[in-house]
Amino acid sequence: MGRIRILPDQVANQIAAGEVVDRPASVVKELLENALDAGATRIRVEVEAGGRKLIRLSDDGQGMTRDDALLAFERHATSKLRTADDLLSIATLGFRGEALPSIASVARVTLETATGEETTGTRMEIAGGKILHVSDAALPRGTTLTVADLFFNTPARRKFLRAESTELGHITALVTHYALANPDKHFELLSATHTIVSAPPVARIAERIYQIFGKETLAQLLPVAAELPLQRAGLPEPPPWRKNPDNPARDPGSLRLSGFYSKPELQKLNRNSIYIFINKRLIRDRLLMHAITEAYRNVIPPTSFPVVLLFLEMPPEEVDVNVHPAKTEVRFRQQSLVHDFVRDSLRTALIKARPAAGFLAALDSAPAASPSLMPPAASPLPGSPDGEPVPPDSNPAAFQTARTDADAFELTPHLPTPIPGKLPFTAQSFQPGGGFSGWNDQQAWGEAAAALFQPAGLPPAGDCSPHPSDDPRVNPAAETALIEAEQAAANLNQLGSLRPLGQLRESFILATGDDGLWIIDQHVAHERILFEKILRDRQVEKVMRQRLLMPLLVELKPAQMVVFASIAEELERNGFEVEPFGPQTLAVKAAPVGLEGSSLERMLAEVIEQSSADSDEPKQNHDLTELRTRIAASIACHSAIKVNTPLDPARMEWLLSELAKTSHPTSCPHGRPIALMYSWKEIQRAFHRI
């Protein structure tokens, strides 16, 4: 007898469950996605004991007929795909037909569902993959799935679960993400004792950020929106004989980006505050992470990360979501196009906004490894490769992170106080339709973009969703926060017209403008001006060099000689003329203008040291752009005006006007702030005038 056997369905489902359901949060994720796919506008999640004991998700979506309900728990049963071709253009969050049977194979599940069209709804009980009971039930339209005793029949899995608070933290993070991606829908998350998330529908993502994270967070973010038509982008035109005039090629659509990014003054020590949604699906993607880091290169320090909420919309054919069972990774058809689009859009937005750092905010904004949207110790995404390991966390109030001065910015959702009595439930908050609107829905996107960027306080025409101020739970201060956030965006443009008053300890320039009092760090200001000039000159090979009267002799160790050899050519293009002078000595005969003596020596030592650190990481070693910017940053740093240097008024004015012309007057190439503003409002407030 042969040894190979087909596995029984129950075993196959448990194997699938191993990939799809690794913790309570992954159950919530699958159920949330199902509810969104079913067009729900209101989603309520209840959990007990961090989801181990109970997860109940109710939605007001389209529901299921009795037949569909029976089929839904079969393996590979889905309403979202029909043919293999459909896999190439997935417009729903789910498509594998695996989630429900996987969950049902490792828990006790109750399904209650009604379409509103059939005379009665269906109630069904399943445990360990077996249907135990099916009956009629009078139910409103929608679906409620109750998942109890998760992993009751797989003790090994149960052992891997973390503390209740950690699991609840993961669930909170997840509901928060989906709430951000769907501001027009009502999300609630309740534990046995608390309302953790309560987010009624709002018109704009900005308002949703306010609802969930509060005013300070919103004030530190700036909006971004961009669009790139895919017409011909990245792909060759078909030859004339392949073109069919009767059947013109379908519009290839466009890449669209919207969302929020942090001002350079806000820096994080990890990537936890970067959120990327593709067609409303939250994903982890190294390529886009890289694009975002690139956008901030030389604006924030290389060891810091920004806070970014990025919503990318693209035709479903452009992105393959069928890469990982947990659907948290994707593959783009045109990788570099998407990468460059994200990098350039963010970079352009940063250059355009030139946000000025507030004096008080800068005091608080030391880079912090914030848990961001996550509660402490939470992983970014259940099932994602970066998600583990998670240190156990036994603090039951874990996600109510204490606020300290150094941690002024957090994306951690604040726990709303429990709302006594019944939640207000108006007919208004139930809106028909919803669900995932395919990217093709131009109007929908247009509206979404308009909603995101229109002036605060004006609901879009025809908008029927409750405005925050209509809702008793939403503080009308949301409006003020929005206005402040928007106003804060336009500032550094005035640098050129500031009036310098003098210097503080011959190191900082004091200047006044309409908006307040400015303090400018003269060294880093000059550093930024020089840095951008050096890069520009280098690009057109017009670097100015100066001959040294006496060659400068530099002693190097053998390992440093090797590093030097690898960067010698780039140094030469930056104005250096260096010749070997014995086995361990270099003679520098010419150098970029402005760099001499000990500064020149220190600059060379710095670049060699930084480049040798890199040679341990071969992947970066050949990155010429990085080397180029590193050299430019180093030359700029060592030839810029130093602190403790007196400047006459004309020189100060020159410095300010040159700084105004740079792309990033916000921070020096190493990420330190250049100009801080003590705003007129802050001054008035401090003197108790307002």
Ligand X SMILES: Nc1ncnc2c1ncn2[C@@H]1O[C@H](COP(=O)(O)OP(=O)(O)OP(=O)(O)O)[C@@H](O)[C@H]1O
Nearest distance, CB of residue 436 and ligand X, angstroms: 12
Nearer residue to Mg ion within complex by CB, 34 or 272: 34
DSSP result, 377-390: T--SSTT-GGG---
Beta bridge partners of 586: 554, 580
**547 burial level (CB within 10 Å; 0-12, 13-18, 19+):** exposed
Q: Rule CB under 6 A: say whether 64 interacts with ligand X.
A: yes
Nearer residue to ligand X within complex by CB, 95 or 518: 95
Nearer residue to ligand X within complex by CB, 77 or 444: 77
- Contacted by 206, from Mg ion, ligand X, none: CB < 5 to 8 Å by type: none
CB atoms within 10 A of CB 241: 6
Nearer residue to Mg ion within complex by CB, 279 or 667: 279
* Residues in Cβ contact with 142 at an 8 Å cutoff, skipping those fewer than 6 apart: 40, 58, 59, 60, 61, 63, 113, 114
Sheet bearing 499-504, strands edge to edge:
357-358, 675-679, 516-521, 508-513, 499-504
Among 53, 66, 80, 681, binds ligand X (CB under 6 A): 80
The residue behind tokens 């908008």 is 463
Nearest distance, CB of residue 96 and Mg ion, angstroms: 7
The residue behind tokens 């070693």 is 621
In angstroms, how far is the first alpha carbon of the chain from the final one? 89
Nearer residue to Mg ion within complex by CB, 101 or 371: 101
Angle between helices 24-37 and 164-181 (to 10 degrees): 20
Give the whole-angstrom CA distance, residue 210 versus residue 481: 8
Helical segments of 594-647, H only: 597-614, 618-621, 624-639
Angle between helices 558-573 and 624-639 (to 10 degrees): 90
Residues 129-158 binding ligand X (CB under 6 A) are 143
Residues 253-312 binding ligand X (CB under 6 A) are none
Residues 629-658 binding Mg ion (CB under 5 A) are none
Nearer residue to ligand X within complex by CB, 43 or 637: 43
Give the whole-angstrom CA distance, residue 30 versus residue 566: 51
CB atoms within 10 A of CB 363: 13
Nearer residue to ligand X within complex by CB, 67 or 246: 67
Nearer residue to Mg ion within complex by CB, 94 or 435: 94
Total binding residues toward ligand X, as defined by CB under 6 A: 22
- Contacted by 310, from ligand X, Mg ion, none: CB < 5 to 8 Å by type: none
Q: Rule CB under 6 A: say whether 97 interacts with ligand X.
A: yes
Q: Is 152 left (phi over 0), alpha (psi -120 to 50) or beta?
A: alpha
For residue 116, the Cα-to-chain-centroid distance in whole angstroms is 38
Q: Rule CB under 6 A: say whether 95 interacts with ligand X.
A: yes
Instruction: Map residues 485-504 to x or -, x wherever contact with Mg ion holds by CB under 5 A.
Output: --------------------
- Contacted by 59, from Mg ion, ligand X, none: CB < 5 to 8 Å by type: ligand X
Nearest distance, CB of residue 16 and Mg ion, angstroms: 12
Q: Tokens in use for 54?
A: 């109970």
Pick the stretch among 60-68, 298-306, 503-511, 568-576 that binds ligand X (CB under 6 A): 60-68
Nearer residue to ligand X within complex by CB, 234 or 438: 438
Among 43, 47, 54, 100, binds ligand X (CB under 6 A): 100
Nearer residue to Mg ion within complex by CB, 81 or 590: 81
Pick the stretch among 78-86, 149-157, 372-380, 482-490 that binds ligand X (CB under 6 A): 78-86
Q: Are 486 and 456 in contact (CB under 8 A)?
A: yes
Nearer residue to ligand X within complex by CB, 42 or 347: 42
| Residue of 682, 680, 643, 652 whose CA lies nearest to 495 | 652
Q: Rule CB under 6 A: say whether 70 interacts with ligand X.
A: no
Give the whole-angstrom CA distance, residue 525 versus residue 675: 8
- Contacted by 199, from Mg ion, ligand X, none: CB < 5 to 8 Å by type: none
Pick the stretch among 92-100, 203-211, 371-379, 419-427 that binds ligand X (CB under 6 A): 92-100
Angle between helices 522-539 and 649-661 (to 10 degrees): 50
Q: Rule CB under 6 A: say whether 30 interacts with ligand X.
A: yes
Q: Rule CB under 6 A: say whether 110 interacts with ligand X.
A: no
Nearest distance, CB of residue 92 and Mg ion, angstroms: 8
Instruction: Map residues 5-34 to x or -, x wherever contact with Mg ion holds by CB under 5 A.
Output: -----------------------------x
Pick the stretch among 61-69, 503-511, 622-630, 647-655 that binds ligand X (CB under 6 A): 61-69
| Residue of 603, 609, 632 whose CA lies nearest to 527 | 632
Pick the stretch among 97-105, 194-202, 298-306, 511-519 that binds ligand X (CB under 6 A): 97-105
Total binding residues toward Mg ion, as defined by CB under 5 A: 3
Q: Tokens in use for 302?
A: 């290389």
Among 38, 99, 197, 633, binds Mg ion (CB under 5 A): 99
Among 63, 94, 413, 513, binds Mg ion (CB under 5 A): 94
- Contacted by 78, from ligand X, Mg ion, none: CB < 5 to 8 Å by type: ligand X
Angle CA 304–306–308, to nearest 5 = 155
* Residues in Cβ contact with 687 at an 8 Å cutoff, skipping those fewer than 6 apart: none
Among 77, 390, 556, 605, binds ligand X (CB under 6 A): 77
Q: Are 341 and 233 in contact (CB under 8 A)?
A: no
Pick the stretch among 34-42, 342-350, 408-416, 663-671 that binds ligand X (CB under 6 A): 34-42
Q: Are 72 and 64 in contact (CB under 8 A)?
A: yes
* Contact residues: Mg ion, CB under 5 A: 34, 94, 99
* Contact residues: ligand X, CB under 6 A: 30, 34-35, 38, 59, 61-64, 72, 77-80, 94-100, 143
